[in-house]
Structure 1
Amino acid sequence: MTDQEAPQLAPEATSSPASTQPRAQRDILGYLVLIAGVGALVCGAVAAVGTGWGFWDYKSGLMGVAGAFLLGIVAILIGLVQELRVRKSNTPPLRARRWIGMLVALVYVGWVGTFLVKALTVPAIHDVSTDLADPPAFQTLQLRADNWDAVPGADDSNMRGLTPEQRWAMVHQKAYGDIRSVRVNEPVPMVIAKAERLAKARGWDVATSLPEEGRLEATETSAFFRFKDDVILRVRPSDTGEGSIVDMRSVSRVGQSDLGMNAKRVRSFLADLTGTVTAAQ
């Protein structure tokens, strides 16, 4: 056998086993990022929906959302580290699954992050009223038993000696000074009737509507956690007899901070009710 007839060693035979291994099999971190990213979104959704369905209490649900938030951050960090590492590789693994996992995780982390930012910018109260001196009192619905527990300011030297209600009024005034009683140029029964229509249009459960008494009480339920916030509208004739003075109060049934939702609800509802909101004198 001549040298020309001798079998030639194929170039592939000199390659290392790792280089011949399919890229998909070597992309373990890519699969990990994909699983973690999608898992964060799924776990967060299950935690929220499960709370709404009554499978566990809201505190456990919030812990589940927080845990999923951390899992999403881990997925993003691993994905970024892997991206930096594979850029130096001659045969980088496929990026699709890694980027999908990072994108899903980023969407979830960003969504939860907006609530975390909101929690840092609003006071830790859950009771909002247009009248701080004489908040509308629930009669059909019941004010939560722990409504005045854990009101901020107990350790504040500027609030020393104040009752929880007084501390609440100070914190409320500083954060939501724009929320005040409003005047409507309509008689009390017409205002309550309009308020009832608006409440039902928003999907609220109206507990009572008494035009002759100038009182409406209703409950709004959130979409995922099924949190319930109770609302009362108090409408009284103005001192001059022309038009009505409207006061509104919105209280969350659970939790210490409402993330600003009650204030948002009061502003929005009164804007729809009055058209142009004017502070009552």
Structure 2
Amino acid sequence: MTNQQAPRASTDTTSSPASAQPQAQKDILGYLVLIAGVGALVWGAVAAVGTGWGFWAYTSGLKGVAGAFLLGIAAILIGLVQEWRVRKSNTPPLRARRWLGMLVALVYVGWIGTFFMKALTVPAIHDVSTDLADPPAFQTLQLRADNLDHVPGADDPKMRGLTPEQRWAMVHQKDYGDIRSVRVNEPVPMVIAKAERLAKARSWDVAISMPEEGRLEATETSAFFQFKDDVVLRVRPSNKGEGSIVDMRSVSRVGQSDLGMNAKRVRSFLADLTGTVTAAQ
């Protein structure tokens, strides 16, 4: 009996380390994918929140978000390659770490990817107005000094000879032609009072509200980056003596493209203000 047990013990002793070693070696990539996936999410979050807290410039924060995006893609690709390789292995490593890392990376990459895709579908402008010929002017808040410095179309033959303001109006009209002055069947003071309530309900910082003058200026701050977009509302009596004509302008303080946020803000606010948006006559 002793002689029969000895070879079995010897076999177990020699086979156990041999099978465990490849298992441990292959699982290194599992750890790598997990670290890269979670690291991408953390890196992107820190880049955004740190910008909002003023630890670094917004340009550095955006570079951090982009770098984390690439890291997330790398985690997904490495995980997929490893998955293809282990399918041919007789002793595949555990998949839990790898798939968890890929899932976290996919969530982050998918979320940031929506912003990249949005940037490709909207014009690279950050100033949106219902009145292109006479945009509402900021009096309390200050319009950014470089507002027209990077208007697209400077190299477009169709816009040759146009001023930055004219190019802005042309691009704006092409992509945001639906954003126009609206008419409200209420007097000017009532419209401004309602606009102030709506602004505060949206947690905007109201800089000034002048019902008698028909003017309201406010600022909305984004959640993570703490980007600030300034809004001015101009309300004037209708030429026909019935109701009021409402014009709105929304401008981002930084950046060249707003990813369509200012247009979205104007549409949403005017829809709530008027109930049913009616183009001014």
The corresponding residue for 2:266 is 266
Identity of aligned residues (%): 87
The corresponding residue for 1:187 is 187
Aligned pairs for 1:88-99 (under 5 A) are 88-99=88-99
Q: TM-score, normalised by structure 2?
A: 0.96
Q: Secondary structure in 2 aligned to 1:15? A: helix
The corresponding residue for 2:208 is 208
Deviation at residue 24 of structure 1 after TM alignment: 5.1
Aligned pairs for 1:140-179 (under 5 A) are 140-179=140-179
Q: Secondary structure in 2 aligned to 1:134? A: coil
Aligned pairs for 1:23-172 (under 5 A) are 23=23, 26-172=26-172
* Cα deviation digits, residues 32-64 of structure 1 (max 9, x gap): 000000000000000000000000000000000
**2:34 and 2:7 mapped to 1: Cα distance?**
43
Deviation at residue 16 of structure 1 after TM alignment: 7.3
The corresponding residue for 2:7 is 8
**1:26 and 1:221 mapped to 2: Cα distance?**
47
Deviation at residue 89 of structure 1 after TM alignment: 1.0
Q: Secondary structure in 2 aligned to 1:218? A: strand
Seen in structure 2, the aligned counterparts of structure 1 residues 8 and 18 have a Cα distance that, compared at 3 Å, is: closer
**2:109 and 2:246 mapped to 1: Cα distance?**
40
Unaligned runs of 5+ in 2: none
* Cα deviation digits, residues 184-214 of structure 1 (max 9, x gap): 0000000000000000000000000000000
The corresponding residue for 2:255 is 255
Unaligned runs of 5+ in 1: none
| Aligned length, in residue pairs | 280
**2:262 and 2:152 mapped to 1: Cα distance?**
17
Deviation at residue 13 of structure 1 after TM alignment: 4.2
Contact 1:152 1:167 in 2 (8 A): yes
Seen in structure 2, the aligned counterparts of structure 1 residues 3 and 127 have a Cα distance that, compared at 3 Å, is: closer
Contact 1:195 1:273 in 2 (8 A): yes
Q: Secondary structure in 2 aligned to 1:229? A: strand
Seen in structure 2, the aligned counterparts of structure 1 residues 106 and 191 have a Cα distance that, compared at 3 Å, is: same
Deviation at residue 235 of structure 1 after TM alignment: 0.2
- The answer as to 2:11 corresponding to 1:19 is no
Letter of the 2:189 counterpart? P
Letter of the 2:48 counterpart? A
Seen in structure 2, the aligned counterparts of structure 1 residues 160 and 26 have a Cα distance that, compared at 3 Å, is: closer
Deviation at residue 253 of structure 1 after TM alignment: 0.1
Q: Secondary structure in 1 aligned to 2:269? A: helix
Deviation at residue 167 of structure 1 after TM alignment: 0.2
**2:84 and 2:41 mapped to 1: Cα distance?**
25
Q: Secondary structure in 1 aligned to 2:7? A: coil
Contact 1:236 1:246 in 2 (8 A): yes
Letter of the 1:156 counterpart? D
Q: Which has the higher helix share?
A: 2
Seen in structure 2, the aligned counterparts of structure 1 residues 127 and 3 have a Cα distance that, compared at 3 Å, is: closer
Letter of the 1:179 counterpart? I
Q: CA RMSD in A?
A: 1.6
Contact 1:24 1:94 in 2 (8 A): no
Q: Secondary structure in 1 aligned to 2:234? A: strand
* Cα deviation digits, residues 203-238 of structure 1 (max 9, x gap): 000000000000000000000000000000000000
Letter of the 1:216 counterpart? L
